[in-house]
């Protein structure tokens, strides 16, 4: 690859000065991509806009719950199989860049499909949403492992912490400015349904497309040494089990991540709880609660940007405390009214701003360059198991019992994750 900085054909390994130039170059590109992509994803928020949109197309609570988790499930599921292929690949840049070209057009295309179908065919809009949203998610899953490998091999630790922290901060500040616009679009003053949601998807889709040329000039530094052949599944899958059995710190982080994934069973129902049980209108609930969540995510991201380097474990533990506060405050809101729900979204936003990136940073720091593809794929695919089960549990609890039952279940899972960290957590450097 012409733009990869690696020792090939007798070329010497890059010097410290050359690496520093590559780090600076990549930081700008990766930060830009991460920020624009995250803004696009948050604009059609999986815990705000998406469940509210799907609720207008169906009253099936389980389907509403699945829609809220679809993107993350689709992003996580393919990664274990992608990791198996990548162990014999030296240059991983185009495994990241290539699939992005078609994948990041899906949301923009879907916005046009909404307009073409019109308000008379909600069942077709729902079917189209499931298809295009799933394609966008699965396609992004193809690039998840090479993306983690690139930011592990071609970005230094200090800049990686800043990438996540500053990126999430920029996303939060931007969403703060866009939240009133989203509220206006979904209000009675905005376009009629479903064109109001089509407009939000169109803006998001344009932002996704903009990221495609941004990542093309990334320069790749040498990563782990590739193996000769792709291991057969008969060896690969038992090897993964051995990793979990023998590596206690990694196993603890995986277990905690699965418990956090299970706790997302409540995520799609906070908005439904606000609109159906507490009496808030959709435009007020989506815009104001999104605003509070975004404020919290900005605070969490700023903290990670400033203090996150080498402190992934401490940030995961602290973020879990804030995450636990969200279902607790929602339960209080059930008794006293909507005011505590605003604080719940603020607390959840703090966790959102630093919990996920703390998990990712821990895995990147903990695994060796040779281990990184497999560890990243295993970590992310195991997380998908929890996300697959969570909507089924959450939807069943809401349909059969109440919103409050889902919030209690989320509280128990988050408490379990915190207990795992307190009992067996380890910092990557110490490990």
SS3 per residue for 88-156 = CCCCCHHHHHHHHHHHCCHHHHHHHHHHHHCCCCHHHHHHHHHHHHHHHHHHHHHHHHHHHHHHHHCCC
Query: 2 pLDDT exceeds 60?
Result: no
**Could you tell me the pLDDT band of residue 335, with boundaries at 50, 70 and 90?**
confident
The residue ranking higher by pLDDT, 410 or 149, is: 410
Whether the link from the prior residue into 194 is cis, omega within 30° of 0, is: yes
401 or 426: whose pLDDT is higher? 401
**Which residues span the domain enclosing 144?**
16-424
Q: Are the C-beta atoms of 93 and 216 separated by less than 8 Å? A: no
pLDDT given for residue 228 in this prediction: 61
Q: Which residue has the higher pLDDT, 7 or 18?
A: 18
Helix (H) / strand (E) containing 84: helix 79-86
Q: Is residue 3 part of a domain?
A: no
Q: What is the pLDDT of residue 201?
A: 94
Q: What is the pTM of this model?
A: 0.73
Residue-wise pLDDT tens digits, 18-31: 888 999 999 999 99
Number of DSSP helices (H) and strands (E) in the chain, helices first: 17, 0
Q: For 368, how many CA atoms within 13 A lie in the half-sphere containing its CB?
A: 6
Residue 185 lies in a domain: yes
Instruction: State mean pLDDT over 377-393.
Output: 82
What is the average pLDDT value for the chain, to the nearest integer? 82
Q: Give the model's pLDDT for residue 282.
A: 67
Whether 177 maps to a domain, the answer reads: yes
Taking residue 265's Cβ as centre, other Cβ atoms within 10 Å add up to 28
pLDDT-above-70 percentage for the chain: 89
Specify whether the CB–CB gap between 53 and 132 falls below 8 A.
no
- Provide the pLDDT for residue 40: 92
Whole-number pLDDT of residue 430: 41
> With b meaning 16 or more CB within 10 Å and e meaning fewer, what string describes 380-393?
bbbbbebbbebbeb
For residue 259, how far is the Cα from the chain centroid?
A: 16
Does the structure show a pLDDT above 50 at 391?
Answer: yes
- Spatial contact of 223 and 347, defined as CB atoms under 8 Å apart: no
Q: If we measure between CA atoms, which residue out of 44, 42, 40 comes closest to residue 53? A: 44
Does the pLDDT value for residue 283 go beyond 80? no
pLDDT band at 217 (very low <50, low <70, confident <90, very high): very high
Helix (H) or strand (E) holding 213: helix 195-215
Q: And the tokens for 52? A: 């509210």
Find the mean pLDDT for residues 177-194: 82
The answer as to whether 208 is a domain residue is yes
> Which tokens in the block code for residue 170?
């920029």
Q: What is the pLDDT of residue 431?
A: 40
Residues in the chain: 431
Q: What does the angle CA 36 – CA 351 – CA 274 come to, to the nearest 5 degrees?
A: 90
DSSP state of 56: T
Residue 26 has a pLDDT of 92
Which is nearest to 416 in space by CA: 247, 263, 270?
Answer: 263
pLDDT class for 114, splitting at 50, 70, 90? very high
CATH of the domain at 223: 1.20.1250.20
Please tell me which of 118-127, 245-254, 344-353 the model is most confident about, judged by mean pLDDT: 118-127
* Within a domain: 359: yes
Residue 97's alpha-carbon distances to 5, 208, 214, in angstroms, are 17, 13, 10
Residue 358, domain member (yes or no): yes
Q: How far apart are CA 275 and CA 271, in angstroms?
A: 6
Residue 148, token pair as written in the block: 């983690």
Predicted confidence band of residue 110 (pLDDT cuts 50, 70, 90):
very high
pLDDT average, residue stretch 340-363:
84
User: Which tokens go with 121?
Assistant: 């065919």
Task: Tell whether the model's pLDDT for residue 317 goes beyond 90.
Answer: no
CA 330/CA 337 separation, integer angstroms: 9
CA distance 196 to 188: 10
Contact (CB, 8 A) for 99 and 414: no
| pLDDT (mean) for 8-35 | 82
84-98, 200-214, 248-262, 327-341: which range is least confident on average?
A: 84-98
| pLDDT score of 157 | 77
Task: Give the Cα separation of 198 and 193 in Å (integer).
Answer: 9
Is the predicted pLDDT of residue 296 greater than 80, yes or no?
Answer: yes
* Helices (H), ranges, 216-309: 233-246, 248-263, 269-272, 282-307
**Cα separation of 84 and 378, whole Å?**
10
Q: Answer whether residue 430 is part of any domain.
A: no
CA–CA gap between residue 168 and residue 135 (Å, rounded):
25
Whether the pLDDT of residue 159 is over 80: the answer is yes
More confident residue, 236 or 154: 154
Predicted local confidence at residue 247, as pLDDT: 84
Is 88 or 121 the better-scoring residue by pLDDT? 121
Question: Tokens 């380890």 label which residue?
Answer: 426
Distances, alpha carbon 116 to alpha carbons 6, 122, 123, 133, 178, in Å: 49, 12, 13, 17, 26
Q: What is the pLDDT of residue 406?
A: 92
Least confident residue range of 378-382, 406-410, 425-429? 425-429
With respect to residue 429, please indicate whether it lies within any of the assigned structural domains.
no
Rounded mean pLDDT of 281-305? 76
Per-residue pLDDT tens for 49-83?
A: 888 889 889 888 778 777 877 887 777 777 777 77
The number of folded domains in the chain is 1
Alpha-helix residue ranges (DSSP H) falling in 308-402: 312-336, 339-366, 372-400
Q: What does the pLDDT read at residue 8? A: 45
């Amino acid at each position: 690859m012409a733009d990869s900085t690696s020792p090939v054909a007798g070329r010497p390994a890059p010097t410290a000065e050359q690496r520093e130039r590559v780090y600076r170059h990549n930081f700008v590109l990766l930060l830009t991509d991460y920020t624009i992509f995250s803004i696009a994803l948050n604009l059609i928020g999986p815990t705000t806009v998406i469940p509210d949109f799907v609720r207008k197309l169906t009253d099936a609570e389980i389907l509403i719950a699945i829609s809220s988790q679809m993107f993350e499930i689709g992003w996580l599921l393919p990664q274990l199989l992608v990791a198996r292929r990548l162990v014999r690949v030296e240059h991983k840049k185009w495994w990241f860049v290539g699939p992005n070209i078609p994948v990041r057009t899906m949301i923009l295309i879907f916005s046009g499909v909404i307009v073409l179908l019109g308000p008379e065919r909600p069942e077709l809009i729902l079917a189209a949403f499931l298809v295009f949203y799933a394609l966008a998610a699965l396609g992004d899953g193809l690039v998840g492992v090479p993306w983690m490998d690139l930011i592990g091999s071609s970005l230094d630790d200090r800049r990686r912490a800043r990438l996540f922290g500053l990126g999430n901060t920029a996303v939060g500040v931007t969403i703060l400015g866009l939240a009133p616009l989203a509220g206006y679009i979904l209000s009675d003053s905005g376009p009629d349904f479903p064109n109001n949601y089509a407009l939000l998807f169109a803006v998001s889709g344009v932002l996704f497309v903009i990221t495609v040329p941004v990542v093309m000039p990334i320069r790749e530094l040498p990563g782990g040494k590739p193996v000769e052949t792709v291991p057969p599944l008969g060896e690969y899958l038992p090897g993964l089990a051995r990793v979990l059995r023998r590596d206690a710190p990694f196993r603890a982080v995986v277990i905690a991540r699965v418990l956090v994934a299970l706790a997302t069973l409540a995520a799609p129902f906070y908005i439904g709880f606000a609109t159906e049980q507490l009496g808030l209108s959709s435009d007020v609930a989506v815009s104001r609660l999104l605003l509070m969540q975004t404020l919290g995510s900005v605070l969490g991201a700023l903290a990670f940007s400033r203090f996150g380097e080498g402190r992934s474990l401490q940030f995961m533990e602290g973020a879990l405390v804030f995450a636990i506060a969200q279902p607790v405050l929602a339960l209080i809101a059930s008794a006293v009214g909507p005011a505590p729900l605003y604080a719940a979204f603020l607390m959840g936003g703090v966790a959102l701003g630093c919990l996920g990136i703390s998990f990712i940073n821990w895995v990147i720091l903990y695994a060796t360059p040779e281990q990184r593809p497999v560890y990243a794929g295993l970590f992310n695919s195991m997380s998908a198991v929890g996300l697959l089960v969570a909507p089924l549990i959450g939807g069943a609890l809401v349909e059969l019992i109440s919103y409050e039952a889902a919030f209690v279940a989320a509280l128990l899972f988050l408490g379990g994750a915190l207990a795992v960290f307190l009992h067996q957590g380890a910092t990557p450097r110490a490990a």
